[in-house]
């Protein structure tokens, strides 16, 4: 008895030390009366405290959540365990799944657009006046570099094509990697870009802390604060047609030569995850479901069937013959023809009824979930405008466009701005940015010339008349400037106004009167000033000499 009592006391003390929250619950229990088991009271108090602490359904661990993870994973663990598999499956779905292909097309069309993200130089002189000469020189030099023979180290893709390829790569693989090449091998400009397959940077290559505090994680070398120092690639050339996994012979490239873009979703994330990650499983299952339904529908449309012999009516067979040599009875059916069957042979049709009317409803439900995971509108992904009214399609389009704008800003930050900064420094030092007078812009004014803005693509108004009227009212009420209205349409205000000036000058040179020009521009001519046109004030009074005319 003494030993059991000591065990109970130690167990009670251990419970109090391991779970301090039990103390409050245990204090509410009345002192044990004679004959009451104190251990049972402690168990009830412990269960009561657990019921209070575990107040979230998602925190329960039972038979329904046994396969649900309970230990948080770091970003490095998530990437190491899943990235390579997700990339392989994302590429497969992008190649074979219609909705995966449609998603990548939507990403390219809405993030990059038909013209790409446009550069607008904003260099200013002292006093905030735009330096038009320098801005035109920078934009002209940039447009010249954007050609395929200068932008791409292979000479095959223009800057606009590179933007589209890198955006699709980020959506499909989760990241993109570009190497900046300078010098004689970089083409005529001496500055070009080399697109590198991110999978050539081994995600499973890790090294622990080194003496200088640096470390390698997922094929990238970092300093002790997590800033990239170098990237390791199994190959950076175009001659290798296959991936090399498992080796330790890498090409080390300094980080200042690599542009690495991905959307981080966790603190400490160092590599990207495909944007289709959460939708991949459902996309594959739905694709298999649709294929099975299509095969079944084709079989049903073929009106196939089976022949069956009545009892004791089947033709005699040679018992010594090989069953594989037996030729089954068959008929090649043609439309509008009927065949006479031998006596004792009957036909039984095989008529599968699936799919009936549930395929469309089920497919829509699955595609809505897929569209939510991809961050796009269901109507655009599924090309389904059935039952859509103006209000719903407008609200859906506006929400989706905000998502595209967010991706555009991400792309500008991690690609466009970083490329331009390096290009501008190299081009100024090499004297390749020249004004129309033939003078090269000075490299000492790098900070001045680095003042730019980017204009990504924008979309047409859903209700042009109503939204144009709203924009005009906002402008007249001083809520938005005229330039903002132009920028919302994806154009540069300075370029638009200069184009207006050229059009007006051309119309005047063609002999068109100003009244016609103003009318064609939708403007009302200002009322004539009699002081400037005395002929109007000297015209005869039509009432002069009339005795019945009203007197002043």
Q: Which pLDDT tens digit goes with each residue over 53-111? A: 566 888 888 888 888 888 999 999 999 999 999 999 999 999 999 999 999 999 999 99
Q: Are residues 154 and 245 in the same domain?
A: yes
User: How many Cα neighbours within 13 Å face the side chain of 467?
Assistant: 11
Q: What's the gap between Cα 44 and its chain centre? A: 53
Of the candidates 412, 430, 459, which is a domain's last residue? 459
User: Rounded distance, CA 15 to CA 9, Å?
Assistant: 10
6 and 90 part of one domain: no
Same domain, 439 and 381: yes
Is 265 among the domain residues? Answer: yes
| CA separation for the pair 449, 423 (Å, rounded) | 12
Asked if residue 137 and residue 48 are part of one domain, the reply reads no
CA atoms within 13 A on the CB side of 364: 10
Q: Are residues 14 and 136 located together in one domain of the fold?
A: no
Q: Are residues 306 and 413 in the same domain?
A: yes
Instruction: Determine, yes or no, domain membership for 113.
Output: yes
Half-sphere exposure of 184 (CA within 13 A, CB side): 0
Q: How confident is the model at residue 29 (pLDDT cuts 50, 70, 90)?
A: very low
pLDDT of residue 484: 82
Residues 113 and 197 in one domain: yes
pLDDT at 197 over 80: yes
Torsion of Cα atoms, 128 then 132 then 133 then 139, to 10°: 110
User: Does residue 255 sit in helix, strand or coil?
Assistant: helix
Q: Is residue 33 part of a domain?
A: yes
Does an H or E element contain 181, and which? Answer: strand 175-182
Inside any domain, residue 320 = no
Residue 65 maps to a domain:
no
**Interval 380-400 mean pLDDT:** 82
What's phi and psi for 175, nearest 5 deg?
-165, 165
Same domain, 39 and 120: no
Q: Of 239, 263, 337, 280, give the one whose Cα is nearest residue 75.
A: 263
Do 142 and 20 lie in one domain? The reply is: no
Most confident of 429-438, 521-530, 533-542: 429-438
What is the rounded distance in angstroms from the CA atom of residue 300 to the CA atom of residue 360? 18
pLDDT of residue 23: 45
Residues 50 and 101 in one domain: no
Domain count, the chain: 2
Residue 146 lies in a domain: yes
Q: Is residue 530 part of a domain?
A: no
Quote the percentage of the chain above a pLDDT of 90: 47
Alpha-carbon span 368 to 114, nearest angstrom: 27
Domain enclosing residue 218, as ranges: 74-313+357-459
220-222 and 215-217 beta bridge pairing:
antiparallel
User: Is 520 part of any domain?
Assistant: no
Q: Are 396 and 410 in contact (CB under 8 A)?
A: no
Bridge pairing between strands 228-233 and 220-222: antiparallel
Beta bridge partners of 252: 232
Residues 48 and 158 in one domain: no
Q: Is the peptide bond before 310 cis (omega within 30 degrees of 0)?
A: no
């Amino acid at each position: 008895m003494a030993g059991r009592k000591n065990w109970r006391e130690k167990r009670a003390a251990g419970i109090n030390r391991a779970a301090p929250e039990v103390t409050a619950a245990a204090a509410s229990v009345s002192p044990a009366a004679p004959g009451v088991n104190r251990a049972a009271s402690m168990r009830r108090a412990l269960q009561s405290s657990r019921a209070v602490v575990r107040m979230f359904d998602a925190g329960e661990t039972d038979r329904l959540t046994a396969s649900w993870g309970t230990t948080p994973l770091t970003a490095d663990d998530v990437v190491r365990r899943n990235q390579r598999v997700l990339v392989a499956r994302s590429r497969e779905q992008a190649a074979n799944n219609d909705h995966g292909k449609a998603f990548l097309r939507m990403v390219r069309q809405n993030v990059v657009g038909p013209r790409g993200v446009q550069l607008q130089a904003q260099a200013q002189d002292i006093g905030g006046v735009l330096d038009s000469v320098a801005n035109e020189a920078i934009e002209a030099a940039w447009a010249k570099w954007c050609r395929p023979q200068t932008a791409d180290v292979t000479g095959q893709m223009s800057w606009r094509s590179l933007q589209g390829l890198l955006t699709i790569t980020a959506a499909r693989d989760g990241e993109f990697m570009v190497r900046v090449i300078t010098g004689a091998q970089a083409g005529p400009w001496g500055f070009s870009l080399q697109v590198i397959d991110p999978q050539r940077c081994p995600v499973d290559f890790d090294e622990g802390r080194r003496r200088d505090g640096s470390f390698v994680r997922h094929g990238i070398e970092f300093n002790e604060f997590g800033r990239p120092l170098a990237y390791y690639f199994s190959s950076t050339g175009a001659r290798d047609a296959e991936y090399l996994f498992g080796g330790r012979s890498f090409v080390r490239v300094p980080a200042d030569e690599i542009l690495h873009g991905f959307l981080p979703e966790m603190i400490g994330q160092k590599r990207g995850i495909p944007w289709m990650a959460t939708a991949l499983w459902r996309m594959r299952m739905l694709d298999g479901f649709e294929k099975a339904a299509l095969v079944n529908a084709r079989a049903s449309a073929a009106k196939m069937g089976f022949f069956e012999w009545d009892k004791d009516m089947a033709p005699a067979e040679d018992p010594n013959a090989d069953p594989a040599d037996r030729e089954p009875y068959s008929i090649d059916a043609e439309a509008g023809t009927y065949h006479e069957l031998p006596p004792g042979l009957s036909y039984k049709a095989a008529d599968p009824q699936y799919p009936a009317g549930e395929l469309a409803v089920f497919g829509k439900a699955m595609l809505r979930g897929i569209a939510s995971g991809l961050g796009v509108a269901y109507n655009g992904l599924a090309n389904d405008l059935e039952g859509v009214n103006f209000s719903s399609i407008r609200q859906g389009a506006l929400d989706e466009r905000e998502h595209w704008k967010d991706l555009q800003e991400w792309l500008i930050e991690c690609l466009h701005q970083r490329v331009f900064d390096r290009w501008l420094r190299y081009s100024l030092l090499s004297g390749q940015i020249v004004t129309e007078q033939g003078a090269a812009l000075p490299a000492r004014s790098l900070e001045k010339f680095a003042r730019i803005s980017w204009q990504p693509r924008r979309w047409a108004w859903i209700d042009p008349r109503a939204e144009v009227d709203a924009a005009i009212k906002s402008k007249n009420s001083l809520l938005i400037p005229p330039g903002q209205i132009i920028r919302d349409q994806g154009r540069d205000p300075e370029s638009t106004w200069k184009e207006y000036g050229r059009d007006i000058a051309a119309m005047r040179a063609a002999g068109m009167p100003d009244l016609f020009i103003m009318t064609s521009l939708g403007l009302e001519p200002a009322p004539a000033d009699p002081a400037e046109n005395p002929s109007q004030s000297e015209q005869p009074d039509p009432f002069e000499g009339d005795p019945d005319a009203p007197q002043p």
